[in-house]
Amino acid sequence: MLGRINHVAIAVPDLSQATATYRDVLGARVSQPQALPEHGVTVVFVELDNSKVELLEPLGAESPIKAFLEKNPSGGMHHICYEVTDILAARDQLKQAGLRILGDGSPKTGAHNKPVLFLHPKDMNGTLVELEQV
Ligand code: CO
């Protein structure tokens, strides 16, 4: 079911500062900020040869990463995203195996305009897992 790692996501308290660190200090290519109101975050992607790092900053009062940043004020690893070829088939297979899908279980459109789902971290060894259909 699992394809490549699409990205690893890091929640950050200050996106412009985090962007400056990756771009100006580490010399990485960083995309323009993208507001994703449906997900309650603003994101940039650090583009690496073999994968991407997604930097997430809260957007709006109801941001799902707000509590995470309260617990981790300087930021922290937030989720890992794996690619799948058929997200609905993957979801059905995972549900059958007893894994919980966050939200209403239907894919949302992610930062790459592709369908994404999140799996409950308690079912995934304490790691929030995103699946993205590619
Ligand atoms: Co992500």
Q: How many domains does the chain have?
A: 1
Dist. CA 34 → ligand 1 center (Å) = 12
Dist. CA 130 → ligand 1 center (Å) = 6
Spatial contact of 2 and 80, defined as CB atoms under 8 Å apart:
no
Q: In the 8-state DSSP scheme, what is residue 122?
A: G
Spatial contact of 82 and 117, defined as CB atoms under 8 Å apart:
no
Cα distance from N-terminal residue to C-terminal residue, the chain: 12
* Residues 78-83, mean pLDDT to the nearest whole number: 97
pLDDT digits (tens, 9 = 90+) for 7-30: 999 999 999 999 999 999 999 999
Domain span at residue 55 reads 5-133
Q: Give catalytic residue positions.
A: 130
Model pLDDT, residue 41:
96
* Residues 51-67, mean pLDDT to the nearest whole number: 95
pLDDT digits (tens, 9 = 90+) for 83-120: 999 999 999 999 999 999 999 999 999 888 999 999 99
CATH code for the domain of 99: 3.10.180.10
Model pLDDT, residue 38:
86
Dist. CA 32 → ligand 1 center (Å) = 16
Spatial contact of 54 and 39, defined as CB atoms under 8 Å apart:
no
* Residues 53-78, mean pLDDT to the nearest whole number: 95
Dist. CA 24 → ligand 1 center (Å) = 23
Query: Cβ atoms within 10 A of the Cβ of 50, count?
Result: 6
Q: Structure pTM?
A: 0.93
